[in-house]
């Protein structure tokens, strides 16, 4: 009687605890504390950095509402000009260039340009006024040294890209050395003075320079490769009527304005190109003059909110987007998760992305983050959608903290059903706030997807056919396996269980064709995947790019030798020897770009055979030919690439006569922290974003900017 009384009470008490847990975790508390979330964030698109290197010789900006251009440096912030709506403006670096040809014929200059552009993205046509006529200089490069430009000039000359074109001067190395004249009272006056000097055969460009807190118009005269000719150039410029000609110091800031003919091509319309010196530290900023963002042509013509800053960093052009932090997240969250996902998943992603972006501070020298997955994918306004924006807005200023500090809230697309252990499996760090080994409802990508059959074809090849394209034939293969019958003409057999329009099927079968069923697998998704068979040569090349000790070929065997707590692979052995590629997550790249390290490997060329004398032989470790006894009792050598064997369980198995490797796995990404598909799964179960975050990140607080 006592037990009968206590059991219901114990169950009721336990149920009360569970309900309290669910209620409290799904209506979490956001603390208002001393964390500071900045108003803006700096995103680098192009920069020659130590951990991020993305180089461009030019940046082209435009905006539907026009642009306001400013000069910015530690001392001043001065207006430069306004670029009309829909018109472009370009920015470059005043470095060393190969001046290939100077001609008065625009079409000839354009023809040379097109030849150079075949193998260079740093080719330009610049318009000048010289000797009473308009001329066009075709240059290539933005080199950091005169030697680099000289080598390029030799290449273009030997290639004959300007052959047949009448040049007004010899091909030469052009550089950033020159003399300065001015200041002039207006841009028009400076332009008139440049034309006057051009009449004397000098290369003269209008330029901007801060002087005594104001921005002055000056001239930069000459494009010299060194300082040896500056004295004579100074005399020639003064003799031609230039005002206050002087030889400037190399660290004096300026921005030359060139008439660039490259961007509009055959239209023969000049676009202003502001050229910044390597050493002077000048920064030019573009702000939208009206509605709409700024298009950065060299970043796939995407349009971004905020301002664009252009400078020279480490002798290369740098382009940085200074943007409202929350608006930056509109794009990041919109690019990271689908617009159709539940709002609570959007909110969880917003808080994680905000925390992740702030963790590193100024992580990239002159920027906080970059626009690639080295930080977070940031593709501008095109990635925004109302649902992601709502997720950001409704969590504005909220971040994840541990011990009062913002955490590195890493996340991945799909953890394959279980989160990773960082210390043992991924990067080796002891991130105590990452929930390792947590079950994650990541199956979402499989919803609505059909299974695929792994089949053997009549001629011996193997591949995958989608399950709705075959039916049971009612017949059995001699091995006991089932025959499937193809139902339609031209049915595709694919190298992995997925339709990829850019990859040709390995075969097409007609209606009624019979194939042998070898197995049944889910469709290839971010949750469950099988890669097409990789050859020994492919894997050896990939492994040796990462292996600290190169693997001597050929690659005969590859096996999983160690796994971590979540089942992720932490070590593989090649030819029986452990391969050292550094941290565990490096295995993804080392194995030819696997989606995750939660995988197994099938060695199709590895098996044990029973010799005619009763001994066994390990293939491929032990060499020698293979022979089989036909159904008529005849012995024949196996010459085909594919073969089929009965395994120890009596099942038919597809093999190969040379080593090949099939990888089967789950998940997409490193698997640490929040799984995005798991967040969706939890949201669909009714959990809110605070529960989701505290499910994937342990011992954390959600704090809001004070």
Pairing state between β 674-675 and 411-412? parallel
Pairing state between β 491-493 and 462-466? unpaired
pLDDT of residue 364: 92
Distance of CA 48 to the CA centre of its chain: 16
pLDDT (mean) for 244-268: 93
- At residue 10, does pLDDT exceed 80? no
Q: Write down the domain spans for the chain.
A: 91-256, 326-444+669-704, 450-524, 529-666
How confident is residue 431, by pLDDT bands cut at 50, 70 and 90? Answer: confident
How confident is residue 15, by pLDDT bands cut at 50, 70 and 90? Answer: very low
Alpha-carbon distance 88 to 67, whole Å? 9
pLDDT of residue 291: 86
Helix axis angle for 2-25 and 689-696, nearest 10°, is: 100
How confident is residue 266, by pLDDT bands cut at 50, 70 and 90? Answer: confident
Q: What is the largest CA-CA distance in the chain?
A: 118
pLDDT (mean) for 235-252: 95
pLDDT of residue 13: 33
- At residue 323, does pLDDT exceed 60? yes
How confident is residue 3, by pLDDT bands cut at 50, 70 and 90? Answer: very low
How confident is residue 479, by pLDDT bands cut at 50, 70 and 90? Answer: confident
- At residue 277, does pLDDT exceed 60? yes
Q: 3-state secondary structure string, 476-528?
A: ECCCCCEEEEECCCCEEEECCCCCCCCCCCCEEECCCCEEEEEEEECCCCCCE
- At residue 305, does pLDDT exceed 50? yes
Tokens, residue 609: 């055979």
Range of weakest confidence among 267-281, 313-327, 334-348, 528-542: 267-281
Average pLDDT of every residue of the chain: 90
pLDDT (mean) for 178-189: 96
pLDDT of residue 626: 64
pLDDT of residue 27: 46
pLDDT cut 90: percent of the chain above it: 79
pLDDT (mean) for 197-224: 95
- At residue 11, does pLDDT exceed 60? no
How confident is residue 5, by pLDDT bands cut at 50, 70 and 90? Answer: very low
- At residue 6, does pLDDT exceed 50? no
DSSP-based three-state secondary structure for 85: coil
- At residue 172, does pLDDT exceed 70? yes
pLDDT of residue 24: 38
Q: Render pLDDT for 495-542 as a digit per residue (tens, 0 to 9).
A: 999 999 999 999 999 999 999 999 999 999 999 999 999 999 999 999
Tokens, residue 23: 């209620």
Q: Taking Cα atoms as reference points, which of 71, 133, 138, 60 lies closest to residue 98?
A: 138
Q: 3-state secondary structure string, 258-312?
A: EEECCCCHHHCCCEEEEEEECCCCCEEEEEECCCCCEEECCCCCEEECCEEEEEE
* 398 strand-pairing partners: 704
pLDDT of residue 459: 84
How confident is residue 187, by pLDDT bands cut at 50, 70 and 90? Answer: very high
Selected residue with higher pLDDT from 637 and 704: 704
Selected residue with higher pLDDT from 596 and 643: 596
- At residue 630, does pLDDT exceed 60? no
pLDDT of residue 144: 87
Instruction: Please work out, in degrees rounded to the nearest 5, the angle formed at the alpha carbon of residue 702 by the alpha carbons of 701 and 703.
Output: 105
pLDDT of residue 29: 66
- CA distances (Å), origin 487, targets 71, 145, 511: 69, 66, 5
pLDDT of residue 576: 94
- At residue 616, does pLDDT exceed 80? no
Contacts of 670 (CB under 8 A, 6+ apart): 410, 412, 420, 426, 427, 585, 596, 597
How confident is residue 362, by pLDDT bands cut at 50, 70 and 90? Answer: confident
pLDDT (mean) for 221-229: 96
Alpha-carbon distance 70 to 80, whole Å? 5
* 184 strand-pairing partners: 217
DSSP-based three-state secondary structure for 133: strand
Question: How much is the pTM?
Answer: 0.87
Pair 331, 339: CB distance under 8 Å: no
Q: Taking Cα atoms as reference points, which of 368, 369, 384, 409 lies closest to residue 332?
A: 384
How confident is residue 49, by pLDDT bands cut at 50, 70 and 90? Answer: very high
- At residue 201, does pLDDT exceed 60? yes
Tokens, residue 315: 């002798």
- At residue 245, does pLDDT exceed 70? yes
pLDDT of residue 658: 85
pLDDT of residue 628: 63
pLDDT of residue 12: 33
Pair 334, 326: CB distance under 8 Å: no
pLDDT of residue 26: 45
**Token match 């010459």: residue?**
639
**Token match 């000839």: residue?**
108
Pair 194, 217: CB distance under 8 Å: no
How confident is residue 231, by pLDDT bands cut at 50, 70 and 90? Answer: very high
Selected residue with higher pLDDT from 10 and 690: 690
Contacts of 403 (CB under 8 A, 6+ apart): none
pLDDT of residue 76: 74
């Amino acid at each position: 009687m006592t037990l009968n009384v206590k059991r219901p009470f114990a169950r009721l008490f336990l149920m009360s605890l569970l309900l309290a847990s669910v209620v409290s975790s799904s209506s979490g508390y956001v603390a208002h504390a001393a964390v500071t979330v900045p108003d803006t964030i700096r995103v680098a698109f192009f920069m020659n950095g130590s951990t991020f290197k993305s180089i461009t010789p030019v940046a082209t900006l435009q905006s539907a509402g026009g642009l306001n251009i400013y000069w910015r440096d530690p001392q001043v912030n001065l207006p430069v000009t306004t670029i009309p709506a829909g018109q472009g403006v370009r920015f470059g670096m005043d470095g060393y260039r190969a001046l290939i040809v100077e001609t008065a014929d625009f079409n000839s200059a354009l023809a040379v340009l097109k030849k150079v552009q075949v193998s260079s993205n740093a080719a330009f046509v610049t318009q000048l006024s010289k000797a009473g006529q308009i001329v066009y200089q075709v240059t290539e490069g933005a080199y950091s040294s005169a030697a680099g430009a000289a080598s390029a000039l030799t290449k273009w000359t030997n290639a004959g890209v300007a052959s047949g074109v009448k040049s007004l001067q010899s091909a030469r190395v052009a550089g950033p050395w020159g003399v300065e004249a001015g200041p002039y009272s207006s841009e028009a006056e400076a332009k008139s003075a440049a034309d006057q000097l051009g009449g004397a055969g000098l290369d003269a460009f209008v330029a901007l320079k801060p002087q005594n807190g104001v921005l002055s118009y000056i001239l930069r005269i000459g494009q010299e490769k060194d300082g040896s000719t500056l004295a004579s150039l100074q005399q020639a410029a003064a003799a031609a009527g230039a005002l206050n000609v002087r030889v400037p110091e190399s660290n004096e800031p300026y921005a030359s304005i060139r008439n660039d003919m490259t961007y509009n091509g055959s239209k023969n319309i000049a676009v202003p190109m502001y050229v910044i010196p390597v050493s002077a530290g000048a920064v030019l900023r573009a702000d939208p003059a009206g509605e709409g963002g700024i298009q950065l042509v060299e970043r796939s013509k995407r349009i971004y909110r905020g301002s664009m800053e252009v400078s020279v960093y480490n002798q290369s052009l740098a382009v940085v987007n200074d943007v409202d932090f929350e608006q930056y997240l509109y794009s990041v969250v919109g690019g990271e998760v689908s617009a159709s996902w539940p709002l609570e998943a959007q909110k969880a992603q917003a808080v994680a992305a905000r925390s992740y972006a702030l963790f590193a501070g100024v992580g990239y020298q002159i920027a906080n983050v970059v626009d690639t997955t080295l930080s977070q994918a940031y593709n501008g306004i095109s990635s925004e959608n109302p649902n992601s924006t709502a997720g950001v807005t409704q969590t504005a200023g909220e971040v994840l903290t541990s011990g009062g500090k913002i955490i590195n809230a890493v996340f991945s697309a799909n953890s394959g059903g279980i989160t990773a252990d960082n210390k043992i499996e991924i990067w080796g760090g002891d991130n105590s706030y990452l929930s390792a080994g947590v079950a994650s409802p990541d199956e979402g990508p499989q919803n609505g997807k059909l299974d695929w059959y792994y089949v053997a074809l009549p001629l011996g090849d193997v591949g995958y056919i989608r399950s709705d394209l075959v039916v049971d034939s009612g017949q059995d293969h001699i091995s006991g396996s089932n025959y499937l019958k193809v139902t339609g003409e031209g049915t595709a057999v694919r190298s992995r269980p997925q339709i990829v329009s850019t990859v040709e099927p390995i075969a097409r079968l007609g209606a009624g064709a019979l194939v042998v069923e070898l197995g049944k697998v889910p469709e290839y998704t971010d949750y469950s995947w099988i890669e097409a068979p990789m050859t020994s040569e492919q894997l050896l090349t990939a492994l040796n790019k990462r292996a600290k000790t190169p693997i001597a070929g050929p690659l005969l065997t590859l096996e999983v030798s160690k796994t971590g707590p979540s089942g992720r692979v932490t070590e593989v052995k090649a030819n029986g020897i452990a391969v050292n590629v550094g941290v565990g997550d490096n295995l993804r790249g080392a194995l030819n770009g696997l989606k995750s390290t939660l995988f197994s490997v099938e060695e199709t060329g590895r098996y044990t055979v029973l010799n005619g004398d009763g001994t066994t032989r390990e293939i491929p470790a032990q060499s020698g030919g293979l022979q089989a006894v036909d159904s008529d009792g005849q012995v024949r050598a196996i010459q085909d690439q594919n073969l089929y064997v009965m395994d120890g369980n009596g099942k038919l198995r597809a093999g190969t006569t040379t080593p090949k490797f099939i990888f089967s796995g789950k998940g997409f990404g490193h698997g640490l922290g929040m799984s995005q598909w798991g967040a969706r799964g939890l949201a669909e179960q009714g959990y809110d974003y605070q529960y989701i975050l505290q499910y994937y990140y342990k011992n954390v607080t959600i704090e809001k900017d004070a």
